[in-house]
């Protein structure tokens, strides 16, 4: 168990951080098989700010990792994050989500709570 008390679950040989995330994966796989979505990916990394050097020290990049990433039948690019009410209130998550929404305005973002 982690700090939010999620229980990890394995589906199709893939370990998910929560039962809720695993169930969403199963739903998305059904949508993919039905042809409603394509190119389903998991744990896609998006750079929000590149790394840089300051006073001889490297400052790490800021990244955002989505739970799911896919294309809809009509060509929209969608990112999904499965959150519990507690994790949706996490200050780091909220800040990174705002940065993601600003930098990747052409991508639709869905929060599954």
pLDDT in tens, the chain (113 residues): 455 567 889 999 999 988 999 999 999 999 999 999 999 999 999 999 999 999 999 999 999 999 999 999 999 999 999 998 888 899 999 999 999 999 999 999 999 99
* Cα(112)–Cα(63) distance, integer angstroms: 20
* Tokens linked to 96: 């990174």
For residue 75, the model assigns a pLDDT of 93
- Measured between its terminal Cα atoms, the distance across the chain in Å is 19
Whether the CB-CB separation of 82 and 18 falls below 8 Å is answered with yes
Closest-CA residue to 47 (of 27, 34, 61): 61
Q: What is the pTM of this model?
A: 0.83
DSSP 22-37: HHHHHHHHHHHHTTSE
Whether the CB-CB separation of 43 and 67 falls below 8 Å is answered with yes
């Amino acid at each position: 168990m982690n700090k939010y008390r999620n229980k990890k679950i394995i589906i199709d040989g893939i370990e998910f951080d929560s039962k809720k995330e695993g169930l969403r994966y199963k739903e998305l796989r059904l949508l993919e098989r039905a042809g409603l979505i394509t190119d389903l990916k998991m744990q896609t990394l998006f750079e929000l700010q590149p790394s840089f050097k300051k006073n001889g020290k490297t400052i790490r990049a800021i990244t955002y990792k989505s739970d799911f990433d896919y294309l809809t039948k009509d060509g929209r690019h969608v990112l999904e994050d499965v959150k519990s009410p507690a994790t949706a209130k996490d200050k780091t998550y909220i800040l990174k989500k705002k940065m993601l929404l600003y930098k990747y305005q052409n991508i639709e973002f869905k929060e599954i709570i």
